Amino acid sequence: MKTPKLFIVPTPIGNLEDITLRAIRVLKEVDLILAEDTRTSGKLLKHYEIETRKYPYHQFNEHKVVSGLVERLLAGENMALITDAGTPGISDPGYLLIRECIKNDVIVECLPGATAFVSALVQSGLPSDKFFFEGFLPHKKGRESRLKYLSGVPNTIVLYESPHRLNKTLSQLINHFGQERKVSVSRELTKLYEETVRGSLQEVSEYFNNKTVKGEIVIVIGQVE
């Protein structure tokens, strides 16, 4: 029996060319691809003529299916875990399955690849030698207390945000960090209408205040000066 292995495979965050040759090979060779949304991933897989079977694995079913997937891995199936975009486990499903694989001595191998916050952080022009990755803030409960905590973090901070909450979040950041704090907001990374806006929180907030914003967003807040 072959040694079971779970491959963690990053996928493009927008531009379909941002996938490695190794990732394509792995996706073609495994027995099963675990996809956050099989329809979304289907476009990428079709583009690269990857015909491997797909199985849905997302935040709404992961607790239910994880034990069965581990059993299949232990029986000899090799699998690849992908999400709609970026690296699984980074604000996306993945941690639970990886943890259970490790508990059961299933080899886990993570390929390098696209992650939105890395691109946004590097091109922000803000210090990136030390940073705090927050991901998504709580929508309601605990949001204010979390923002208060983050205001005391001395390093560069990275947040994910959805377009319809951007203006509200920038306003809240001004309240907690001050209007002069440096910030960089990136949206639609690697896509046709990619945009990065840099400046003080007040300046960036005013820029987006009357705009219709689309695409996933990364906010990079500069360190305390």
Long-range contacts, stretch 90-95, CB < 8 angstroms, 24+ apart:
90/115, 90/117, 90/135, 91/135, 91/136, 91/160, 92/36, 93/36, 93/57, 93/58, 93/59, 93/62, 94/8
Classify residue 11 by its DSSP letter.
B
**Residue 34 backbone dihedrals phi, psi, to 5 degrees:** -90, 115
Q: What is the enclosing helix (H) or strand (E) of 79?
A: strand 79-82
E strand map for 116-216? 131-136, 156-161, 182-187, 195-200
Q: What is the pLDDT of residue 210?
A: 82
* C-alpha to C-alpha distance for 130 and 223, rounded to whole angstroms: 9
Angle at 194 between CA 178 and CA 187, to 5 degrees: 40
What is the rounded radius of gyration, in angstroms, for the C-alpha atoms of the chain? 19
Torsion of CA 115, 63, 72, 10, to 10 degrees: 0
pLDDT at 107: 97
Q: pTM for this structure?
A: 0.93
Given this model, what pLDDT does residue 1 score?
54
Per-residue model confidence (pLDDT) at position 4: 87
Tens of pLDDT along the chain (225 residues)? 568 899 999 999 999 999 999 999 999 999 999 999 999 999 999 999 999 999 999 999 999 999 999 999 999 999 999 999 999 999 899 999 999 999 999 999 999 999 999 999 999 999 999 999 999 999 889 999 999 999 999 999 999 999 999 999 999 999 999 999 999 999 999 999 999 999 999 999 999 998 889 999 999 999 988
- State the residue for tokens 């996938």: 19
Q: Rounded distance, CA 82 to CA 86, Å?
A: 8
- What are the structural domains, with CATH classification, of the chain? 5-110 (3.40.1010.10), 116-221 (3.30.950.10)
Burial of 203 (0-12, 13-18, 19+ CB in 10 A): middle
